Amino acid sequence: MKRTLFTSGTLLFFTLLFFLACEKKTIPLGDYPGAQIFHGIVRADVRCYRCHGDIGQGARAPALITSGKSIPRDLFVKTVLNGRDKMPPFASVLSEKDIDEIIKWLEAVAALPK
């Protein structure tokens, strides 16, 4: 019997992995421009959710919304544009309008019933 590169079990595993990777996740208030920027839909090189969590709740990086309130706008904009600690700067990638859209979305998500 000829040995193939993939056994049927291996092929099934990679097929399942592919479909799981392609699964579309639901983004709360996903029609907001800020949600699309935050999740890398608008620009593939901006994926805030990877560090800050799907809704800014915090993950590998600090939460952007706590107790229903966002961080002060000035600090948020300055941090996004210039970077801070381990966060890289995004001044060459995002405009202040983009950042304002992200803030609007984060505030709308914070106002959703828990």
| pLDDT by 10s per residue, the chain, length 114 | 555 555 666 666 666 555 545 555 688 888 999 999 999 999 889 999 999 999 999 999 999 887 556 678 898 999 999 999 999 999 999 999 999 999 999 989 988 887
Q: What is the DSSP string of 73-93?
A: HHHHHHHHHH-BTTBPP-TTT
CA distance 60 to 110: 19
Structural domains of the chain, with CATH? 28-111 (1.10.760.10)
CA distance 8 to 101: 47
pTM over 0.85: no
For residue 16, CA distances in Å to 11, 13, 26, 105 come to 9, 5, 20, 33
Residues ≥6 apart with Cβ < 8 Å to 7: none
